[in-house]
A and B are shown apart, each in its own frame.
Chain A
Amino acid sequence: MSINATLIGQMITFALLVWFTMKYIWPPLFDSLEERKKKIADGLAAAEKGQEDILLAEKKAKSVLKAAKEQSSEIVTLAQKRANEIVEESKDTAKQEGERLILAAKAQIEQEIQQAKEGLRQQVAELALSAAEQILGAEIDKAKHQDIISKVSNQLG
């Protein structure tokens, strides 16, 4: 159980082992551990971010959908309104057209009445004149008594 030179040999071996571990074993293994730790952390962070992104995208999709729905319903309302307007407009136009046609017809009737009246007046005047001619004979000069004739014919109208 004596202490002897073995001690020195063991110390040298120990020193060599520690040196070797320090130089060639610890750094690469430790680095790979650290690197993996970082990778895992990054991966987890990325996964979390991905999930957040999904949530965000879902939210966005929902809002877009909602906006689209609103817009479409708005468009439908607008179209209905426009259709109503068109119907009203055409109703108005038809009414106006009808009235216009009635008025035109009335005017025409009036005109024809006037024409008929005029014609009748001419005829009556002529008849009266011929009658007067026959009655008076050659006594009455047509050119001389033109005023009288036209006065009479006016009174007839």
Chain B
Amino acid sequence: MASEVHAAEGATGYIIHHLTPLHVGEGFWTLHLDTLFFSAVLGGLFVWFFKTAAEKATSGVPGLVQNFAELLIEFVDNQVKDSFHGHSKLIAPLALTIFCWVFLWNFMDLFPVDIFPLIGSLMGIEYLRVVPSTDLNATFAMSISVFCLIIFYSIKIKGPWGFAKELMFQPFGPWLLPFNLLLKLVEEIAKPISLALRLFGNLYAGELIFILIALLPWYIQPVLSFPWAIFHILIITLQAFIFMVLTVVYLSMAHEDH
């Protein structure tokens, strides 16, 4: 329907419109209001749901909400136990937050591409991009946070000198120090970048395909968007899962003392 509204701008205009965030400010101090708003709302949803479950938590027969929350908790806990062997009060809740939050971000992708922009345009908002994980800022914010935790735990567990030694003397010994350092730095920096770009790329591409499907005539749309949406259910869960597992793995690597 919106394709008619933007018919004047053509297909390219429609796509660009859909992928342009609602923003204020200039240069670096630009804020993507839609990303901030939707991720905060989704985060609130996540917190509200689990808080409800936590308040009613009983060791007796669980209710529906608690049951579902426990399902996720147990799932995350198993993942953490599988790959992380240290003791940390942070890692499991962190993994749960990442999994649920990223999943909810990605889930926004399953809403028809025009619904929210339409509601937005009725309220006078020109641009609206509802999937936070199609915003590099969102994915990088999370992966950089994780990266900071990796560095923090590396230094905390191994000590500043131990961490520096690991950077300088591995994997090829002290005689190839510059090479080691370069390799290690690339390895470390690749972690947040790959985390962020993987999530962003998958969701951005998925969203783009939904937008392209929305450009097609209405009688073809269901044939394509239905299977793609089904496939996307797998992708959004998988991406959330990958982000979580990799975070746990990286943090467990940071905890391992060689």
Interface code B61-74, partner A: CB below 8 Å = 1, 0 otherwise? 01000100110011
A10 interface residue (CB < 8 Å to B): yes
* Number of A-B contacts defined by CB within 8 Å: 123
Interface of A is mostly: helix
A137 interface residue (CB < 8 Å to B): no
**Would B93 and A21 count as touching, CB distance under 8 A?**
yes
A39 interface residue (CB < 8 Å to B): yes
Query: Given known contacts A24-B54, A26-B93, is B74 in contact with A4 (CB within 8 Å)?
Result: no
B43 interface residue (CB < 8 Å to A): yes
B32 interface residue (CB < 8 Å to A): yes
> Chain A: how many interface residues by the 8 Å CB criterion?
32
Segment 11-33 of A: residues with Cβ below 8 Å from B: 11, 13-18, 20-22, 24-26, 28-33
Query: Given known contacts A21-B50, A39-B59, is B145 in contact with A5 (CB within 8 Å)?
Result: no
Partner of A6, one of B59, B93, B137: B137
Partner of A22, one of B39, B66, B73, B90: B90
Partner of A17, one of B43, B54, B140: B43
Closest approach, in angstroms, between the C-beta of B195 and any C-beta of chain A? 13
Segment 223-244 of B: residues with Cβ below 8 Å from A: none
**Would B136 and A32 count as touching, CB distance under 8 A?**
no
Residue of A nearest to B52 (CB): A25
**Would B35 and A6 count as touching, CB distance under 8 A?**
yes
B7 interface residue (CB < 8 Å to A): no
In the bound complex, CA of A102 to CA of B141 (Å): 133
In the bound complex, CA of A61 to CA of B115 (Å): 76
Partner of B32, one of A4, A15, A20, A24: A4
Interface of B is mostly: helix
**Would A7 and B144 count as touching, CB distance under 8 A?**
yes
**Would B25 and A5 count as touching, CB distance under 8 A?**
yes
Interface centre among B47, B73, B141 (most CB of A within 10 A): B141
Chain B contacts of A28 at CB under 8 A?
A: 54-55, 57
Closest approach, in angstroms, between the C-beta of A143 and any C-beta of chain B? 136
Chain B contacts of A32 at CB under 8 A?
A: 57-59, 62, 66, 70
**Would A25 and B144 count as touching, CB distance under 8 A?**
no
Partner of B101, one of A17, A26, A29, A36: A17
Known pairs A6-B31, A14-B142, A29-B73 / 17 extra A-B pairs, C-beta < 8 Å: A2-B30, A3-B137, A4-B25, A4-B28, A5-B30, A6-B30, A6-B141, A7-B137, A8-B141, A14-B101, A16-B43, A18-B97, A22-B94, A29-B57, A30-B77, A33-B73, A39-B59
